[in-house]
Amino acid sequence: MTQTAGRQMELTLPMVADIEIAAARAAGNLARELGMSSEKIDEMTHAIIEACINAREHSGCADNRMYLRFTGTSLADGSPRIDVWITDHGKGFDQSEARLRRKQLGAAHKRGWGLQIIEAHMDEVEITSGVQGTTIHMVKVEKKSGETGETTS
């Protein structure tokens, strides 16, 4: 689909407590400038929060940094689209193993819901992970008609 020239933002953030809020606010501001609704922005920011927490808690990276890039574009029909890339230079992870961790009430360990939350809140999610680190690319689109795209993984 044709897109108009976008806006772009890049951030390098230290992996410290609550830094995910800074990332979420930056992306939220970009989305607001493009006219995305507050409900869609809330969904996107909650996904970004989970992705940043995953990087902070599980990446095991030596540089203690996460690298974020946001692009905002308007599609041909005027629909706002935000692309988010969050990269760490950590040890990578096994996606299939992570997806199997469905927790239930009563389970001894209730953590590990981040990926499920990300996929539920975003329209597209793609993860590239290996020994050089992990990049998660997420897309949020608000169709002018009010429809959103399919969530993929």
Minimal distance, residue 109 CB to other proteins, in Å: 9
By CB under 8 A, tell whether 50 contacts other proteins: yes
Q: Which is nearer to other proteins, 112 or 149 (CB)?
A: 112
110 binds other proteins (CB under 8 A): yes
In Å, what is the CA distance from 77 to each residue of 6, 28, 39, 80, 113? 14, 21, 20, 9, 34
- Residue 141 identity: V
* Residue 39 in the binding site for other proteins (CB under 8 A): yes
Interaction between residue 142 and other proteins (CB under 8 A): no
The answer to whether 136 contacts other proteins (rule: CB under 8 A) is no
Token pair in block for residue 29: 């501001």
Q: Does 1 bind other proteins (CB under 8 A)?
A: no
On whether the CB atoms of residues 66 and 13 are closer than 8 A, the answer is: yes
Total residues at the site for other proteins (CB under 8 A)? 29
Residues that bind other proteins (CB under 8 A): 16-22, 24, 39, 42-43, 45-46, 49-50, 53, 103-106, 110-114, 116-117, 120-121
